[in-house]
Chain A
Amino acid sequence: MTEKATQIRFHIRRFNPETDTAPSWQEYQLDVDPGMTVLDGLHQLKHTQDMTLVWRYSCRMGVCGSCGMLINGRPGLACNTQILHVTRTALTLAPLPNFPIIRDLVPDLTEQFLKHRELKPYMIRPDTSEMQHPTGEYYQTPDDLLDYLQFTYCIKCGCCMAACPTLATDPEYAGPQPLAQAYRYSRDSRDMGYADRKPSLTADHGIFSCHYGSECSSVCPKGVDPARAIQLMKRQLVLDYFKLLRKKPPCKTLGPNEHAERKANIPAAPPYTV
């Protein structure tokens, strides 16, 4: 026997920059079945009631980070939030705050990506020729990996940026997503780019504008805990300031084992396509 559908009142913030001067609210009624996500609800509304409704989505399984929105006042992903887990009566949907609105529920994440790029979220090493034409592998222990693994789960959905009270008052603040990723790379035993990231981290509106409100961590749909990453990054910077930071040795490169013999039944790797 299937459970009875619950009637939910949707309040959706609408904004079309071509016709509207300011956002407004629109109301819809929808029968919601158990298990239906906010994204499912939006699809239902678009198919049955209002085809002009706009939002952004892609993977539908909490991986791509496209469908971040304000769900009953809390930033979250529409695809992994079940409506009946949030409400039994009314559901309010709005675009993520702290971002300009492109249309309806679609925030413009450009500023976040620019700040992310500013903090060099990639491996920086002096041996560029080895990086481009590897002769072996960079050695990393499982413990080294655990140091930063949690922070690699970021999907850049912007929920942490939307929840950040500092970013709400200081739009130039780098924000939790880029700062957490700066720590993720600086902590990686294969990376040697800490000194390159330091000027951006310590600049005005940088990491020291964070007041550890921790809202970023409480809303992160992937459990990344950006607030912790920021505090750990601050600790690293302060230890470095007092010359107490232990310099990490450059990680070793493991070349191919010259003495290993290939088993006869293992086929050769296909040629590179890129």
Chain B
Amino acid sequence: MNGLSKWTWHMMAGLGLVAFLSIHMITMHLDLILGWFNPAGGESLDWANVTARGKQAIMPFFYVAFLGLALYHGLYGLRTIIFELGIPKRMARLTTILILIAGIGLFGLGSFAAFHFASVAASTGAIQ
């Protein structure tokens, strides 16, 4: 990817994060008013609601997309900040590789956690 595509997707990821964070905030903090993704009623962090959300097939994909956008946006921003410190070309290359490895590693770990949680939630009982 050249500077154009990296920057464009950095901006797109930022827009995606605004959308996902809005859903997250509404789910977590307007739970008693709107009750989004809270099928058991009450507070969104009640165990019944957590497992109910985990059973929905879309949720792991939501978490993985959220994680991917956050990692790309955050790590690309971090890389830009490091580059602006004026590091030599070889260090810049090494920084890119390390950030890429960290990003892929964290994305893999997060995706595993999301899908593992979905399978655990699916094996638990009905909504209490």
Do A and B come together as binding partners?
yes
A111 at the B interface (CB under 8 A): no
Q: How far is the CB of B74 from chain A (nearest CB, A)?
A: 16
**B-chain residues with CB within 8 Å of residue A209 when the two chains form the complex:** 3, 80, 84
Cβ 8 A contact of A202, one of B2, B85, B86: B2
* Inter-chain contact A166/B84, CB cutoff 8 Å: yes
B112 at the A interface (CB under 8 A): no
* Inter-chain contact A169/B84, CB cutoff 8 Å: yes
Q: How far is the CA of A213 from the CA of B85 in the complex (A)?
A: 17
Q: How far is the CB of A51 from chain B (nearest CB, A)?
A: 38
Q: Chain A interface: which size bin?
A: 10 to 19
**B-chain residues with CB within 8 Å of residue A238 when the two chains form the complex:** 4, 8, 11
* Inter-chain contact A171/B86, CB cutoff 8 Å: yes
Q: How far is the CB of A181 from chain B (nearest CB, A)?
A: 19
Q: How far is the CB of A29 from chain B (nearest CB, A)?
A: 39
**B-chain residues with CB within 8 Å of residue A241 when the two chains form the complex:** 4-5, 8
A203 at the B interface (CB under 8 A): yes
Mark out the residues of chain A between 192 and 211 whose CB falls within 8 Å of any chain B CB in the assembled complex. Answer: 202-204, 206-209
Q: How far is the CB of A14 from chain B (nearest CB, A)?
A: 27
Q: How far is the CA of A271 from the CA of B61 in the complex (A)?
A: 75
B117 at the A interface (CB under 8 A): no
**B-chain residues with CB within 8 Å of residue A207 when the two chains form the complex:** 3
**A-chain residues with CB within 8 Å of residue B11 when the two chains form the complex:** 238
**B-chain residues with CB within 8 Å of residue A242 when the two chains form the complex:** 8
CB-based nearest A residue for B85 = A169
Q: How far is the CA of A207 from the CA of B2 in the complex (A)?
A: 12
**B-chain residues with CB within 8 Å of residue A234 when the two chains form the complex:** 7
Cβ 8 A contact of B4, one of A169, A171, A208: A208
Q: How far is the CA of A170 from the CA of B92 in the complex (A)?
A: 12
Mark out the residues of chain B between 82 and 122 whose CB falls within 8 Å of any chain A CB in the assembled complex. Answer: 83-86
Cβ 8 A contact of B3, one of A166, A171, A203: A203
**A-chain residues with CB within 8 Å of residue B8 when the two chains form the complex:** 238, 241-242
B24 at the A interface (CB under 8 A): no
**A-chain residues with CB within 8 Å of residue B84 when the two chains form the complex:** 166, 169-170, 209
* Inter-chain contact B3/A170, CB cutoff 8 Å: no
Can you add 15 more A-B contacts, CB < 8 Å, to A204-B3, A238-B8? A166-B84, A169-B86, A202-B2, A202-B3, A202-B4, A203-B3, A207-B3, A208-B3, A208-B4, A208-B6, A209-B3, A237-B4, A238-B4, A238-B11, A241-B4
What are the 4 tightest A-B residue pairs by CB atom distance, in nearest-first order? Answer: A208-B7, A202-B4, A208-B3, A169-B84
A-side interface residues toward B, CB under 8 Å?
166, 169-171, 202-204, 206-209, 234, 237-238, 241-242
Q: List 18 A-B contacts (CB under 8 A).
A: A166-B84, A169-B84, A169-B85, A170-B83, A170-B84, A170-B86, A202-B3, A203-B3, A206-B3, A207-B3, A208-B3, A208-B7, A234-B7, A237-B4, A238-B4, A238-B8, A241-B4, A242-B8
